[in-house]
Amino acid sequence: MIDLLNLPGITPVDIEQVDGELVIKANTLDSNIPKCPQCDKPMHKHGRRTNVFADTPMQMQPTKIEISRQRYRCRECKTLHVPELPFLDEKRNATKRLIESLNERCLSKTFSSLAEDTGLAVNTIKGVATDFIGHIEVNVRFETPTFMGIDEVMLAGDYRCVITNLGTHTMYDMLQHRTQDHLKPYFANLPDKEKVEWICTDMWRPFKRSFTEYLPNAKLVIDKFHVVKMASEALEVERKRYQSLLTKKDRLHVKKSLRWMVLKRPSELSPAETYELSVVRSKLPALGQAYDLKEAFYRIYDCKTKEAAQQAFDNWKAAVPSEMKGFASLVKTIHNHYDDIFAYWDAPISLTNGYTEAMNGVAKVANRMGRGYSYEVIRAKILYGKLARQIGSKVTVEPILPEEVEHATIGRFAFNKTLAFQTTPTKQKKTVVEYGAHIPTLVKMAEDGLLD
Ligand SMILES: [Zn+2]
């Protein structure tokens, strides 16, 4: 029989089809008679033992190997011994190569599809995945971001803290909770913490100042996204107040669209909405003014320098009527966080957590697929899934240093030291630097239904 198993120490003797599975019967090859570990005397054959192990699918079918192994016994002390087969994972009743291929796939395929492919129980797949995730968490290290974003997403029934690299648009980590009790020890134990130079987050984060004691070089920028959102919220306050003043006829005209219309930027308005806005302006000039205030506030972020932005804010503030309570309270909030908001113009790149916002879409898909998956598994699927991780990584190529040339070979010819200084070595070192899961790729995968 052809050795279709290609596993050392066993040979297939029969193959049959049982309930949609391929069952390959195999015997161990004769090995040396083992010695009793206690008496140091040769043991004696003592019947055979047969066990069934799951193997990688063959011919697109779940495959089992039924292995019959010689058993040995010591006549002196009655110790029983079954020679070990190194390719087996006895804990899982499976071959190691099956476990390895499950490790490869468990973050990108559903557990139930893997169970179907291999004939293993879903709970067994879950156990393999849990072990593998534990292994990744110990062994995979993403580069600590210089530009760090901190935000939150609703995932698997709770708000999770998402830590991103704003320079590479990758997700660096995800914490189970967003409380100080979780964040403080996290930052205290962060590797390469001196690398973090900027942190972008919203102004309500409870730990706001607490990270500074752990991250010596980090400066805080309040996320522009959260800042301008407050102008939209202030406009909402005015919109509700004035909408009730419209006549019944006018209200019919703008009722449905008014809320969304005023939240849009002028460039996002359709011609019909632009017209409706002009109707609003004529009927309710104060609401028109509130809309303009919102817009003027957004435009502060178009300023190229910090001084210009601060000047624009001062001008804007002077235009806010005191009766517009929403905007008046926005002025106060800006002053309370003034330095952290205007630090935006000190950062060498435009820092915003817009990418984390995109994670909400990914989380929505993950929550849908998430039935039956624990938070830990969903987190691992997002953070450690192969595709997004690969795209979020960088290959750096370094030339060989002269002192290393002695050991390098080019083609089939060994280099020697004398030659090394006459010729530039062409063989280069490649290292992959990992930054985490590429967020735009995650978003695309979620849209394409590839995230499960
Ligand atoms: Zn013995």
Mean of pLDDT values over 194-214: 80
Q: What is the pTM of this model?
A: 0.79
150, β-bridge pairs: 163
Ligand 1 centroid–CA 163 distance in Å is 59
Please say if the pLDDT value at position 96 is more than 50. Answer: yes
| pLDDT for position 401 | 65
Q: What does residue 212 show for φ and ψ, rounded to 5 degrees?
A: -60, -30
439 residue type, one letter? I
pLDDT-derived band at 416 (thresholds 50, 70, 90) equals: very low
322-368 confidence digits (pLDDT tens)? 899 999 999 999 999 999 999 999 999 888 888 777 888 888 888 77
14-39 confidence digits (pLDDT tens)? 999 998 899 999 998 877 888 998 99
| pLDDT for position 164 | 93
Report which of residues 36 and 241 the model is more confident about. Answer: 36
Ligand 1 centroid–CA 42 distance in Å is 8
pLDDT-derived band at 250 (thresholds 50, 70, 90) equals: low
| pLDDT for position 207 | 59
Ligand 1 centroid–CA 28 distance in Å is 23
| pLDDT for position 356 | 73
Ligand 1 centroid–CA 385 distance in Å is 50
Residues 6 or more apart whose Cβ sits within 8 Å of residue 365: 446, 449, 451
| pLDDT for position 277 | 83
| pLDDT for position 114 | 93
Per the CB < 8 A criterion, the answer to whether 224 and 352 are in contact is yes
Ligand 1 centroid–CA 32 distance in Å is 17
C-alpha dist (Å) from residue 116 to 57, 248, 372, 381, 439: 10, 62, 16, 19, 30
pLDDT-derived band at 405 (thresholds 50, 70, 90) equals: low
Ligand 1 centroid–CA 31 distance in Å is 19
Ligand 1 centroid–CA 90 distance in Å is 24
Please say if the pLDDT value at position 308 is more than 80. Answer: yes
- Average model confidence (pLDDT) across the chain: 86
